[in-house]
Structure 1
Amino acid sequence: MPSFFILLAGAFLLFYSLHTPTHSATAPNGDALVSGQALTAGSGNKLVSRNGKFALSFFQLHAPPSEAIVISKSTPAHSTGWYLGTWFNKIPVFTPVWVANRERPIAASELNLTQLKISRDGNLAIVILSNNATFETLVWSTSHSLNRTPAGTNRNTTTVAAVLMNTGNLALLPESSLSNGAPLWQSFDYPTDVGIPGVKLGRNKVTGFKWQYISKKSLIDPGLGSYNLGIHDDGVMFLGPRNPPFVASWSWPPGELADGLLTVLNGLLDSDPRTKGLFKPSYVNNDQEEYFTYTSLDESSLSFASLDISGQVKLYLWSQAKQSWETIYAQPSDFCTTYAVCGPFTVCSSNSHPSCECMEAFSRRSPQDWELGDRTGGCVRNTPLDCTASSNKSTASSTDVFRPMTCATLPYDPRSVGNATTQSQCVEACLSDCSCTGYSFNNSICSVWNGVLLNVNQDDDGDTVFPEDVLYLRLANKDYLQSLVRNNNKTEPRAFIVETIIACFGLVMLVLLLLIWRNKFKCRGTLVNIIQLNGGGIIAFRYTDLVRATKNFSERLGGGGFGSVFKGTLDDRTTIAVKRLDGARQGEKQFRAEVSSVGLIQHKNLVKLIGFCCEGDKRMLVYEHMTNGSLDAHLFQCNSIILNWSTRYQIATGIARGLCYLHQSCRECIIHCDIKPQNILLDASFAPKIADFGMAAIVGRDFSRVLTTFRGTAGYLAPEWLSGVAITPKVDVYSFGMVLLEILSGRRNSPEVYTSNSYHASYFPVQAINKLHEGDVGSLVDPQLQGDFDLTEVDRVCKIACWCIQDNEDHRPTMAEVVRCLEGLQELDMPPMPRILAAIIERPDVPSV
C-alpha cells in the first residue's frame, strides 16, 4: 500500500508540472532573453542593457505625478492596464521610451498568467496562458498577429534571442550572432510617441514603410492618440491630426529638409549652452530611404524627443542638478496652434502652462480625462438648444440667444451665407438652422458654424485679434439667464429679431430711461460709457446695494490718492473689493479711465471689473476680491508671507502675460502707465492680476504713440516721461523691469534715505547690472530665500530686467518677447549698462528718477 501511494503522488506531481503555466520557464539573465526563458509579469524580473542605461519589463503608468510601478507579486490591482516597455533605468523619474502592447493593455486579473517569451515560431511574444495551460492568447508579437493557438504548436524551430542594446533598442537576433548579427526585428523600427538617439523618423521609399511618432492618449494610457509626426510620400514633413481633417500645425516642404530644417535644428542646439556639443541631428535621403535621426555625442547625457499628447514635438534633456527633465525645444511653440488641442467648445490660451477652458454654459465632457492630459473630448452644453425645425426643414423656430466672444480667434471651418448682408439677416440665418452653433459678421460677410466649434484661441503671446472678428456663441436662453444670476457680473448682449414697430418702440423707451437716469443721478460725462459698458458685461450697482455689501464701508483694504478700497460681500456670497473714488474732478477722471480700459477686457492676469456705481458725486468701481492682497505687501512688509522663488517666477510671468495682452491683443492698445508692486494683486493661489487702471492711456491701432499728461510713480518711470515726448507701450516695459528687480531682491530699488556718497552703491539696479556682468547674480536674490532658488531662472530674470530698463526705448524688448524669454523659448544677450545708471556711478550725488 505505501508503494501505491508513492506512485500516486509521483503521478500527481508530474501532471501538475505539465499543466502549471509559465512559472516553470527559467528567468532571463542580464540583457538577453533566449529560447526556453520567460519574463513573467508577476516576478519583478527585467532585462537591463549592459551599460545599465535602459531596462525592459512590465509596468503600469500612474499620473500625476508621472510615475510607473514595475509589477511584482505585491503590486495591487489597478484600473489601468499593464504594459511591456523600455525606460531609462538610472534616473528616479520613470520615463518609458518604447511600449510594445500600447493598444492591448493587460488586465490585473491576467498578470499571473502573462509572459514575454520567444515563441515556437521564432517571434518575441507576449502571451496569456489559460488556467489549464491548454491554450495561450497572443497579446503582441514581433509578427504582429493576434490569435489563439494550441500551447504546444511548433511552426518554426529557429533559435533566436531578444537583446536589449546599450542604445535602448530591443532587437531580435539569431543566437549564433548576438554580438554582430543583423536584427530580425527591432523596436527602433516601431517608435511610439518617443524617439531616442538612433531612432529614425521618415519612410522607406521602396516598401512604403514609415517610421513615425504617434502621440499617446493620456498620461496613463499610451494607446494611439490624436496626432502624428512623419514624412509623407510627397516628402513633406507633417505634424498634425492622425485622422481627418489633416490640418497641419507644423510642416516643412520637400527639398528644404536637408538645408533648411537641419540648419535650423543645428542652430537651436548650438545656441543653447545646455545642448551645445551634445547632439548631432542628421538627414538621410537616398534611393531607398528618407529619414531624420539624431545621435548623442555624450554617452552620459540622457535625452529624448516626444510627440506630446497636445500635438507638440518636444526635446527633453535630463538635468542631473535638478533631477528632472528640462524642455529644450518645442514645435510649434504656441500650444494653441495644434488643431483641436482643447476639443470642441473650448477656448485655448497660450502660455508656459497652457490652459483650455470651456465656453460659457459648457462643462467638461470628462473631467478625469482632462486631468490626465486628454482634452480631445472638449466640452458639452449644460442645456440643449431650444430649436424646432419646420415641416419642410428649411427654417426653424428658436428662443436661443447669442453671446459675443471678443479677443479670440474665430473657429475652424466657417460656412459663408451669401444672402445675409446685414447682421440681423446673419442672426436669422443661424437661428433658422438647428445645427448652427455660432456666427460672425464682418464687412457684410456672414459666416456661420454648424456642429462643434474648434480652435477658438485666446492668444496670450500678443498676436492681434481684430475687433471685427467677433464670434457670437449660440446659447440656450436658460443658460444665459442663469449665468447672469450665478456670476452677477455678466449682462451679455442678446441677439434677437423683432418687427420694425417693436424695435422702434423699444428704442424710444430706452432713450427716455437714459434721460431720466442722467437727470436723476447727475453723473456728468459718464452716460456714454455706461451705455457701452452695459453691453459689455458689467453690472450697474445702486449706491444702497454697495453700502449694504460693505457694511457701510467698515472694512478698509487700502487706498491711495484716488480714494479708498473696501471689502464687501454680495448677496450670492461673492467677495468684492469696492473702490470709492474721492473728489469731484479726480473721481470723474479715475472713473472714466478705469471703466473705459478694463471694462471690456477679460484676462486671467488682469483684475476683473464686476461693476460700477455712478450716482451724483458717488463714483465707485466694484472688483473681484484678491485674497492675498498686493505684491507690495509680500515683498516689503516684514510680517507677510515670504514668497518662494517658484512663486515669484510665476508672478513675474503672469504680470508679463497680462501686459502683453493689454499691449497687443485688445481692440485698442492699452498702456497701463503705473506698473508697480502695489498695483499687482494676488489671488488665493498667488496668481498675479494687474489692477488700478486709473492712469491708463489708450492708443488706437492706427497709431504707435500717444501724447498724454505726465503720470506714474517715481522709481518706476521711464526716462521718456521726463522728456515730454509721446509715449509707447515701452513705458510699461520699463516699469516692469523695475518690478522684476524688486521681485528678485525682495526690497525696494530706491533706498528711503541716501547721501551723496552712498546712493550709487545702494541703488539696486546699479548693483544688479554690475553683478550680472560679473556672473554673480546669486548674490542679488532676496536673502530670506536662504539660497533656495533656480540660478538659471535668476540669471534669466536679471537679464530681462536689465534689458527692460534701457534708456532707449528701442532697445527694450516688447512684452511678447519678455513672455517668450520667461518661458525659456527665447534667449537674450548680455545687456549693456544704461547711460543713466552709468551716470549715477560716475556722479553719486545725482539721484535716480
Structure 2
Amino acid sequence: MFSMPPLYILSLGLLLFHTTLWPSFFVAANNDTLMAGQVLAVGGRIASRNAKFALGFFQFQPASTISKSSYNTTSPIPSLWYLGIWFNKIPVCTYVWVANRDQPIADPIINQTRFKISSDGNLVIVNHAANNESIVWSTRVVNNRTHLRRNNTSTAVLLNSGNLALKESPSSDLPVWQSFDYPTDVILPGAKFGRNKVTGFSHQAISMKSLIDPGPGSYSYELEQTKGLVLKRLNPLVEYWLYASSTKSSFNLVPMLKAVLDMDPRTKGLMNPTYVNNDQEEYYMYTSLDESSSFFILLDISGQIKLNLWSQDNQSWQTIYAIPDDPCIPPATCGPYTKSNANVVVLNWNIRYQISLGVARGLCYLHQGCPFVGRDFSRILTSFRGTVGYLAPEWLTGVAITPKVDVYGFGMVLLEIISGRRNSSPETSYDTSSSNSNQNIEYFPVQAISKLHDGDLKSLVDPRLHGGINLEEAERVCKVACWCIQDNELDRPTMGEVVRVLEGLQEIDVPPIPRLLAAIAE
C-alpha cells in the first residue's frame, strides 16, 4: 500500500488548518473578478483588465486637516471609509462610484470589514465587529424570491468601462446588477441614463454633499417621462432646469451636443452621444471614441452638470462644457444680492497683451515723465491701504517707499491678466485622498514662477483661450511679471525697462524664484 511522506502529510495538515480558520480567500490585487468565497479587505483592490479603473476601500481626508478658515469647527471627525471605483492611472484620485455613500464605515471597524458575495448571491459589505456579522451595504437584487443557493456561482467583474457587474455565473451574458444602473454623481462613457418603460426604473444622479463627503447632496438629475431631463434641488424641492421635454427636442439634443463638442479641438472626435427611445426604454448615452482619453459627466456640488476631461499637459481635470451655463441658476449657489458673470466676454490674447503694454506705459509716464504727480518720501504715514498678496514687502517692513512698489503690484496684476484668475483663491481639486482636495488658499504666483522655470507656459495661460496665444509674447509677459515681484526692490526692473521688454526691444532672462515664494512653495 502506498504511504505518503511525512512532509507531505504535514503540509496537507497545515493547509487544512489554514482553510478552516479562513473560509474565504482574499482576492488577488489587480484581478478584475471577485468570485463567491473571495473577500476584499482594506488595502486590496480589484482592477479592470485595461487597468483604467480600480475598486476598493478608500478614505476621504479627515476634517481635522482641513484649513480652519474654510470651516467653523476645529473638532476632528472620525475617519470614514467607503467602497468605490476610481480612475486607476490618473495621479489625481478621482472617484466615479461609491457603494455606501450614505453609510460610511468608522475607522476602528474598517479592519473587520469585508466586501464579498453573500450566500444568496448578492454583493455585500459586512463587518464582524463583536463577533457578529452585520451588513453595511447590499445590492439586494438577487434571490429575494428564493431560498439560499447551495452552489453559489455568482461573480462580480469590474469591466473596462468602469462598470461593476454582478452575474449569476461567469458564463452569464447579462448582469443581474450593475453599478451603471445606480450612479452616484458621475455618468461614465457607456452608461445608459434614462428610464425603463416596462418596470418604471429610472437612473438618478445625486451630487455629493461636499468635496470631502460623498453622501447624497442637494441636487439630483434624471430623465422623467413628461418633463425630459430635469435638474432639481432636493430640499426644498425646486426644479430649476428642464430640457428635451418632447421627443423631437430629445432627438435634436444629440446633434446639438455633437456640434458643440466638434467646435472645441479638445473634444472633437472624442465621444459620440446617442439617444434611444423605443417601447421598452428611453435613455441617453455617450461612448468614447478614444480609449486613451479619460473623461466623465459630473453633477457637481454646485448643481451644474459638467463634462470633465483629463489634461495630460496640465495634469488636472478641465471642465469642457457645463449646463446650465449660468452657475447662478441652481438655487442657493450664488447667494442673495449676487450677479452672475456667466455672459462676460472672454478677452482674447491680443487684447490682454495690449492692456498689459498700455498699463506699463501709463505707469512709466507717472514715474518718469509726469510733472504734475509727485511723491513725498518723508515717512510720516503710520498706516497703508492695499490688497493682501499685491503689496510689496516694503509696506510690511517699514523701509522707504519708492516707485518700485508700483512695479511689484503691476507684476501681480500682470499674472492675473495672463491666467484669467485671482492670484489668491480657494484651491479646488478632485484629489479627495490628500490635502490637495481641501479648500486651502492657493497662491498662483508660486505656481507661475515654478512653471516658468519648468518651461511649461501653456498651463499658466487662461484655459478659456483654448491655446489661442502667442507663445513668444506669453513667455515675455511671464518673465516680466516674475521679475516685477522679486523680494528686493533693486532686482525689480523700472517701468521703462518693462515697456521695452513688452515692446520686444529688450531681452530678459528667466528670473530667480523669490525667497518669499520659495518659502510658500515648501
Q: Are residue 126 (structure 1) and residue 125 (structure 2) matched? A: yes
Does structure 2 conserve the Cα–Cα contact (< 8 Å) formed by 1:238 and 1:252?
no
Q: Call closer, same or farther: CA 1:558–1:307 in 2, change over 3 Å.
A: farther
Q: 2:163 aligns with which of 142, 149, 169?
A: 169
Mapped to 1, the partners of 2:157 and 2:253 lie a distance apart of: 34
Equivalent residue in structure 2 for 1:575, among 384, 397, 410:
384
Aligned counterpart, 1:745: none
The answer to whether residue 470 in structure 2 is matched with residue 777 in structure 1 is yes
Q: Is the 8 A contact 1:124 1:172 kept in 2?
A: yes
Distance 1:783 1:40, change over 3 A: same
1:36 corresponding residue in structure 2: 37
Q: How many Å separate the matches in 1 of 2:389 and 2:294?
A: 46
State the one-letter code of the partner of 1:777.
N
Contact 1:634 1:642 in 2 (8 A): no
CA distance in structure 1 between the partners assigned to 2:216 and 2:49 by the alignment: 31
1:649 to 418, 422, 447: 418
How far apart in 2 are the matches of 1:788 and 1:24? 65
Counterpart amino acid of residue 248 in structure 1: Y
Q: Considering only CA atoms, is the larger Rg found in Structure 1 or Structure 2?
A: 1
| Aligned counterparts of 1:784 and 1:109: Cα–Cα separation in 2 | 53
Alpha-carbon displacement from aligned partner over 1:685-736 (angstroms, at most 9, x marks no partner): 799xxxxxxxxxxxxxxxxxxxxxxxxxxxxxxxxxxxxxxxxxxxxxxxxx
Find out whether 1:458 has 2:450 as its counterpart: no
Deviations 1:501-540 (A, max 9, x none): xxxxxxxxxxxxxxxxxxxxxxxxxxxxxxxxxxxxxxxx
Counterpart amino acid of residue 472 in structure 2? S
- Partners of 2:372 and 2:164 lie apart in 1 by 70
Partners of 2:411 and 2:481 within 8 A in 1: no
User: Deviation string for 1:539-576 (max 9, x for gaps)?
Assistant: xxxxxxxxxxxxxxxxx9999677567899999x9734
1:224 shift after superposition: 0.6
Contact map agreement 2:209 2:215 (CA 8 A) in 1: yes
Measured in 1, the distance between the counterparts of 2:385 and 2:369 equals: 15
Q: Tell me: CA distance 1:137–1:654, structure 2 relative to 1, closer, same or farther (3 Å).
A: closer
Q: What letter matches 2:391 in structure 1?
A: T
| Partners of 1:81 and 1:127 in 2: CA distance | 15
Task: Point out which structure has higher relative CO (alpha carbons under 8 A, 6+ apart).
Answer: 2
Contact 1:39 1:45 in 2 (8 A): yes
Report the TM-score, using the length of structure 2 for normalisation.
0.64
Give the structure 2 partner of residue 93 of structure 1. 92
* Residue 270 (str. 1) matches residue 262 (str. 2): yes
Matched residue type, 2:168: P
Distance 1:644 1:55 in 2: 43
Whole-angstrom distance in 1 between the partners of 2:380 and 2:194: 61
Q: Is the 8 A contact 1:37 1:118 kept in 2?
A: yes
Alpha-carbon shift at residue 783 of structure 1 (Å): 3.8
Aligned to 1:330: 322
8 Å CA contact retained: 1:191, 1:212:
yes
The residue correspondences of 1:196-345 to structure 2 (distance < 5 A) are: 196-342=188-334
- Report if aligned partners of 1:558, 1:565 keep a CA contact under 8 Å in 2: no
Count of matched residue positions in the alignment of Structure 1 and Structure 2 = 383
* Whole-angstrom CA distance in 1 between matches of 2:379 and 2:222: 56
For 2:91 and 2:36, locate their aligned partners in 1 and report how far apart those are by CA, in whole Å.
32
Q: 2: distance between equivalents of 1:296 and 1:220?
A: 29
Checking the alignment, whether the CA contact within 8 Å between 2:82 and 2:98 is kept in structure 1 is yes
Question: Is the Cα–Cα contact under 8 Å of residues 155 and 170 in structure 2 kept in the other structure?
Answer: no
- Other structure's SS at 1:335 match: coil
Instruction: Report the residue type matching 2:165 in the other structure.
Output: A
Distance 1:653 1:126, change over 3 A: closer
Structure 1 residues 686 and 202: CA distance shift in structure 2, 3 A: closer
- Counterpart in the other structure of 1:137: 134
8 Å contact kept, 1:570–1:576: no
> Partners in 2 of 1:295 and 1:106 — Cα distance?
34
Q: CA RMSD in A?
A: 4.3
Cα displacement (A) at 1:253 = 2.5
Q: Which runs of 5+ in 1 are unaligned?
A: 1-12, 68-76, 146-152, 348-455, 464-555, 578-606, 608-623, 656-683, 688-771, 790-849
Unaligned runs of 5+ in 2: 1-14, 67-75, 345-365, 394-402, 424-441, 446-464, 483-522
Question: Which secondary structure state, in structure 1, belongs to the residue aligned with residue 102 of structure 2?
Answer: coil
In 2, Cα distance between the equivalents of 1:192 and 1:308?
A: 11
Separation in structure 2 between the aligned mates of residue 284 and residue 82 of structure 1, nearest angstrom: 38
Matches within 5 A, 1:766-805: 777-783=470-476, 785=478
Distance 1:261 1:649 in 2: 35
Contact 1:239–1:251, Cα closer than 8 Å, also in 2: no
Distance in 2 of aligned mates of 1:54 and 1:87: 6
Q: 8 Å contact 1:122–1:156 — kept in the other structure?
A: no
Separation in structure 2 between the aligned mates of residue 646 and residue 199 of structure 1, nearest angstrom: 41
Q: Secondary structure of 1:333's match? A: coil
Aligned to 2:391: 627
CA contact (8 A) 1:644 1:785 kept: no
Q: CA deviation at 1:130?
A: 3.0
Sequence identity of aligned pairs in percent?
43
Q: CA deviation at 1:785?
A: 4.0
8 Å CA contact 1:173, 1:184 repeated in 2: yes
Output aligned runs, 1:598-617, within 5 Å: none
What SS does the aligned partner of 1:140 have? strand
| C-alpha spacing 1:169/1:339, structure 2 compared with 1 (3 Å) | same
The change in CA–CA distance for 1:246 and 1:780 in structure 2 (over 3 A counts) is same
What whole-Å deviation, never above 9, does each CA across 1:401-453 have from its counterpart, x for those lacking one? xxxxxxxxxxxxxxxxxxxxxxxxxxxxxxxxxxxxxxxxxxxxxxxxxxxxx
Aligned positions of 1:669-708 closer than 5 A:
none
Task: Letter of the 1:33 partner, please give it.
Answer: L
Q: For 1:375-524, list aligned pairs within 5 A.
A: 456-461=337-342
Change (3 A) 1:166 1:335: same
SS in 1 for 2:105: coil
